[in-house]
Chain A
Amino acid sequence: MDVEKWLFLTMTERLKGQRTGSGAVYLLNGKRSSQTLQDASLFYVLPLTGSLKHRSVTDVHGILSTLAASGLVRETDRGLIDLTREGLSMKQKLDTTYTLPEHYNAGRFEWNGEADWFWKRLSLYIQSLSSVMAGIKTFIPIQYDYSVQSWVRDNFPSSRQEREDAAASLYSELSSILSALSDEYASLFVRRLSSGHRAGESFTQLAGETGDPNFTYIRFRSCLHFILARLSESRSGKKYILQNFMKPEEERTLMSRSARETLDLLLEGKTMKEIGQIRRLRRSTLEDHVVEITMMHSGFDASRFVSSSKLELVKNTAEALGTNRLKVIKDTLGSDIDYFTIRLALAEMKGDPHAQTF
């Protein structure tokens, strides 16, 4: 039973039988949609959201199938998933083996691709810098992405003096940040790096004889999350060279590009109907966008679309019922309140998903 199954069981438990198997898969896989954005904060699963982003959707579905086949997760006729009794005790048993590393926060750093952006650029830059300083002119890059390679090329110091300065600064910044981690974690990070004199180690190698490579992956990512959190604290101050490797603010939003375009038009004062015509989008799509925007921008005023009294009514009902299931809320409130209103109200309740943790 490996860490990925444990992640799935944990997710399932937290969704309290109120979401489908696909819903859980999308959350773990870090799909960006107004639904996942909403669910991540409604169910307090942000640290887990996007934890399996490096896997394909099919792979994550595969985990679900395995768990279902071994009777640990069951699916109701309506497709909602829940832990079986065996599933619950298996999860509790696994809880003694696995816990999320202290600094791990997939919802903040994996979901929007921030950790990935940072690691790819930093690791290739370090490999290049270290190799060039060792007198090695040609080497096979450790990152194949064209965008990553061209970023490194554009940002690579051209003179020898600049290279030495960059190496000295990166060395001292990394040593100081990594010192705040346990030696075990700091080692994971450093041993993963490729340089002029050695290639980095695979997760199987880092895990050692008895370890779980997938768990080692999670632990390694938590080092990245820790570094990024550190760098974000002092972002405005621009204290570190390492900050240059971070994904630019404007690209870090979780909002889909399409929702962003809708937002721009809304800010220009266009109505939903006008936007629908301009962008040739269906009303339901625009409603998704509005929910998404409300989630992401706590300052965005949802009462522009629905009266505040209706929104309040939904919020109170949701709280009284202790549920986030749209259907249950809708059944209670009757035909007066539509689904859009309910989703908007729930989105407002949760606000910025980045603010949530376990």
Chain B
Amino acid sequence: MHKPSEEELKHLFGFRAFRKGQKEIIAKILAGHDVLAVLPTGTGKTLCYQYPSRILKGMTIVVSPLLSLMEDQVHQLKAMGEKGACALNSHVSFRDRERILASLNDRSILFVSPEMLQNREVTASLSRVRTGLFAVDEAHCISQWGHEFRTDYLKLAQVREELGNPPCLALTATATEKVQEDIISHLKLERLSRCVHSVDRPNISLHIKKAGTYEEKELTLVQTVNQLKGPGIVYTATRAEADLLAVKLRHRCGLRAASYHGGMEKEDRLLVQQQFVRDETDVVCCTNAFGMGINKPNIRFVVHYHIPQSPEHYVQETGRAGRGGGQACAVLVYQEEDRHLPLSMIVSDLPTDDEIDLLYSVLKTVRPGAGPPTADEAVKSCVSSESKERLLCFYLDQEGLIGEDGRIIMTNAGSSKQRLKNRFQKRKKEKESQFFSMESMVKDHESCTRELLLNYFGEAKTVSPVPCCSSCGDSPFSFQMVKTSASEGTGEAGTSWESLLSRIFHQDIGQKRTGHH
């Protein structure tokens, strides 16, 4: 039996020691177990499948829910020399898909979106190659109690079976007990090893500040950012606010600040991401679209400029700080009014009763000669967002209302309409209660924030780091080196395009001869 060792780790990846949890998880996988691993963000989940992929016979499949994240992961692995890293998702053209499927081998680490695994041709091609490890990233998406339920995750157990039941590694950063049980049952994990680690990140101190007015909030942000050493992230609730704050921070803190949000071009987003990773930008003001695929060890602070939607979101987003192990801090500035936005987002993510009524009336209309409508079309015509579409199609299917040909079978309808409504009501309540937990944590200035957070995830506080949190009397500045001087702005703002261009092509006099090492 192959056992992971420090020498091998050094040899394969150049790391001197395993991080918390890694060795145990890798050993269990190599021993053929299914593993449920709950590891806080930033501790190194990638290695948990990357290491076994070098040892196990067969390729490694990694199910990952976010397309952009997937591409980032592939490029990071490639940059580490993992030549077999590749991704399959709906952005990949048909030709490229064929090429990728044809080139799979034992060294492949294939990232794939759950939707892709619903495609028969894809699974058929995959089952022709041996799968050594079936890893499911962000495994909490399988649970309705998680903060990001993805219906297509529920079909993964079946896919895994088609692939010959390879060992399964379910990975997540945050999972309450309930969510863990869901993961185990829905992925049909057997011979199970659970490696659950505390979500606590002792090197991140947690601070909460209330602002009475927007001006006060802004002032707090400026003061905070001014005193903390970058690089850092500021999470905002809206795209417009991200753009606005970036400008403010440039002016008022003299920092190189950039904005990032889902409304930007893909290339623009990549550029900001790269500037940040390369330390060319100090602060990124962004919506929660930012951060997933970022591998940056030296983030010193994360500011929330609003109340996050759930403790899960909070932990995930603050967890991007201090990945390299250095001391970092999370500062949350909020206003009473902040609660409206997350609450309205919860509502807008779920189908309403009216939409369901509308859907059922569309489902019932049978156009003469055309037969019953297809589920996809009917759903599309009734709701406006993709997440709602996915949810509705999934539950219509669960209710047995969709035939083999994708068309609706109304004879099965029964009382399904009411059940659907109840389901979404319940889901809304659940999400609201997650938000209320977050909110009450934020408003509790007496109890230790760290402890409250850990309690939410069913843990007790075992260590008391210093600095800990604002309730414990620590301020984000008590340990930080106060900034000595402002960064010099973009540094190249005044440079002429001619000299910029000559630097790009290494044409500068003097550099020309000696520039290459």
Given contacts A134-B506, A187-B497, whether A141 and B75 have CB atoms under 8 Å apart is yes
Give complex CA distance A83, B76 in Å.
50
Residue numbers in A under 8 Å from B515 (CB-CB): 133-134
Does the CB pair A202–B258 fall under 8 Å?
A: yes
Q: What's the nearest-Cβ distance from chain B to residue A239, in Å?
A: 19
Contact among B497, B505, B507 with A191 in the assembled complex (CB-CB below 8 Å): B497
Contact among A54, A133, A142, A204 with B506 in the assembled complex (CB-CB below 8 Å): A133
Does the CB pair B75–A144 fall under 8 Å?
A: yes
Does the CB pair A190–B504 fall under 8 Å?
A: yes
Residue-wise, chain A 172-212 has the 8 Å CB interface mask toward B (1 for contact) of 00110010000100110111011111111111110001000
Query: Nearest 6 pairs between A and B by C-beta?
Result: A199-B274, A171-B505, A195-B504, A202-B268, A138-B79, A190-B497
Residue numbers in B under 8 Å from A217 (CB-CB): 265
CB of A140 closer than 8 Å to a CB of B: yes
Residue numbers in B under 8 Å from A200 (CB-CB): 271
Give complex CA distance A203, B507 in Å.
26
Residue numbers in B under 8 Å from A186 (CB-CB): 497
Residue numbers in B under 8 Å from A195 (CB-CB): 503-504
B residues sitting closer than 8 Å to A (CB atoms) are 71-72, 75-76, 78-81, 92-93, 96, 243, 246-247, 250-251, 258-259, 264-272, 274-275, 277-278, 280, 490, 492, 496-498, 500-507, 515-517
Does the CB pair B280–A199 fall under 8 Å?
A: yes
Does the CB pair B505–A167 fall under 8 Å?
A: yes
Contact among A54, A138, A147 with B265 in the assembled complex (CB-CB below 8 Å): A54
Does the CB pair B497–A203 fall under 8 Å?
A: no
Does the CB pair A178–B497 fall under 8 Å?
A: yes
Contact among A140, A198, A203 with B492 in the assembled complex (CB-CB below 8 Å): A198
Q: What's the nearest-Cβ distance from chain B to residue A105, in Å?
A: 20
CB of A272 closer than 8 Å to a CB of B: no
Q: A130-B504, A171-B505, A199-B280 are in contact. List 5 more A-B contacts (CB 8 A).
A: A133-B515, A146-B96, A175-B501, A183-B496, A201-B271
CB of A63 closer than 8 Å to a CB of B: no
Q: What's the nearest-Cβ distance from chain A to residue B322, in Å?
A: 22
CB of A135 closer than 8 Å to a CB of B: yes
Residue-wise, chain A 102-144 has the 8 Å CB interface mask toward B (1 for contact) of 0000000000000000000000001001100111001111111
Give complex CA distance A200, B76 in Å.
19
Residue numbers in B under 8 Å from A80 (CB-CB): none
CB of A88 closer than 8 Å to a CB of B: no
Does the CB pair A204–B497 fall under 8 Å?
A: no
Residue numbers in B under 8 Å from A193 (CB-CB): 501, 504
Give complex CA distance A133, B512 in Å.
10
Does the CB pair B503–A203 fall under 8 Å?
A: no
Q: Which chain A residue has the least Cβ–Cβ distance from B270? A: A142
Does the CB pair A144–B71 fall under 8 Å?
A: yes
Residue numbers in A under 8 Å from B259 (CB-CB): 202, 204
Q: What's the nearest-Cβ distance from chain A to residue B30, in Å?
A: 28
CB of A170 closer than 8 Å to a CB of B: yes
Give complex CA distance A42, B251 in Å.
49
Contact among A147, A160, A170, A197 with B503 in the assembled complex (CB-CB below 8 Å): A197
A residues sitting closer than 8 Å to B (CB atoms) are 54, 126, 129-130, 133-135, 138-144, 146-147, 160, 167-168, 170-171, 174-175, 178, 183, 186-187, 189-191, 193-205, 209, 217
Contact among B243, B265, B271, B516 with A199 in the assembled complex (CB-CB below 8 Å): B271
Q: Which chain B residue has the least Cβ–Cβ distance from A169? A: B505
Give complex CA distance A146, B89 in Å.
13
Residue numbers in A under 8 Å from B251 (CB-CB): 209
Residue numbers in A under 8 Å from B250 (CB-CB): 209
Give complex CA distance A304, B277 in Å.
62
Contact among B96, B271, B277, B503 with A202 in the assembled complex (CB-CB below 8 Å): B271
Given contacts A202-B268, A203-B268, whether A170 and B505 have CB atoms under 8 Å apart is yes
Does the CB pair B506–A167 fall under 8 Å?
A: yes
Does the CB pair A142–B271 fall under 8 Å?
A: yes
> Would you list 20 pairs from A and B whose C-beta atoms are within 8 A, ordered by A residue?
A126-B505, A133-B505, A133-B515, A138-B81, A140-B72, A140-B76, A140-B274, A143-B267, A146-B93, A170-B505, A171-B504, A183-B497, A197-B503, A198-B278, A199-B278, A199-B280, A201-B271, A202-B259, A202-B264, A204-B246
Residue numbers in A under 8 Å from B75 (CB-CB): 140-141, 144
Q: Which chain B residue has the least Cβ–Cβ distance from A185? A: B497
Does the CB pair A204–B504 fall under 8 Å?
A: no
Residue numbers in B under 8 Å from A187 (CB-CB): 496-497, 500
Give complex CA distance A170, B96 in Å.
30
Q: What's the nearest-Cβ distance from chain A to residue B145, in Å?
A: 32
Contact among B243, B258, B498 with A175 in the assembled complex (CB-CB below 8 Å): B498
Given contacts A140-B75, A144-B71, A202-B268, whether A126 and B497 have CB atoms under 8 Å apart is no
Q: Which chain B residue has the least Cβ–Cβ distance from A144? A: B71
Give complex CA distance A205, B278 in Å.
17
Does the CB pair B268–A190 fall under 8 Å?
A: no
Residue numbers in A under 8 Å from B504 (CB-CB): 126, 130, 171, 190, 193, 195-196
Give complex CA distance A335, B497 in Å.
63
Contact among B96, B267, B268, B496 with A204 in the assembled complex (CB-CB below 8 Å): B268
Give complex CA distance A217, B265 in Å.
10
Give complex CA distance A331, B502 in Å.
64
Does the CB pair B264–A204 fall under 8 Å?
A: yes
Q: Which chain A residue has the least Cβ–Cβ distance from B92? A: A146
Q: Which chain A residue has the least Cβ–Cβ distance from B492? A: A198
Does the CB pair B500–A191 fall under 8 Å?
A: yes
Residue numbers in A under 8 Å from B496 (CB-CB): 183, 187
Does the CB pair A142–B274 fall under 8 Å?
A: yes
Residue numbers in B under 8 Å from A171 (CB-CB): 501-502, 504-505, 507
Residue numbers in B under 8 Å from A135 (CB-CB): 516-517
Give complex CA distance A170, B501 in Å.
10
Q: Which chain A residue has the least Cβ–Cβ distance from B281? A: A199
Give complex CA distance A201, B504 in Å.
14
Give complex CA distance A13, B95 in Å.
41
Given contacts A171-B501, A178-B497, A190-B501, whether A198 and B280 have CB atoms under 8 Å apart is yes
Residue numbers in B under 8 Å from A134 (CB-CB): 506, 515-516
Give complex CA distance A133, B507 in Å.
11
Does the CB pair A130–B71 fall under 8 Å?
A: no
Q: Which chain A residue has the least Cβ–Cβ distance from B500? A: A190
Q: What's the nearest-Cβ distance from chain A to residue B202, in Å?
A: 30
Given contacts A130-B505, A134-B506, whether A204 and B243 have CB atoms under 8 Å apart is yes
Give complex CA distance A143, B267 in Å.
7
Does the CB pair B507–A168 fall under 8 Å?
A: yes
Given contacts A171-B507, A190-B497, whether A199 and B275 have CB atoms under 8 Å apart is yes
Q: Which chain A residue has the least Cβ–Cβ distance from B275? A: A199
Contact among A144, A174, A203, A205 with B501 in the assembled complex (CB-CB below 8 Å): A174
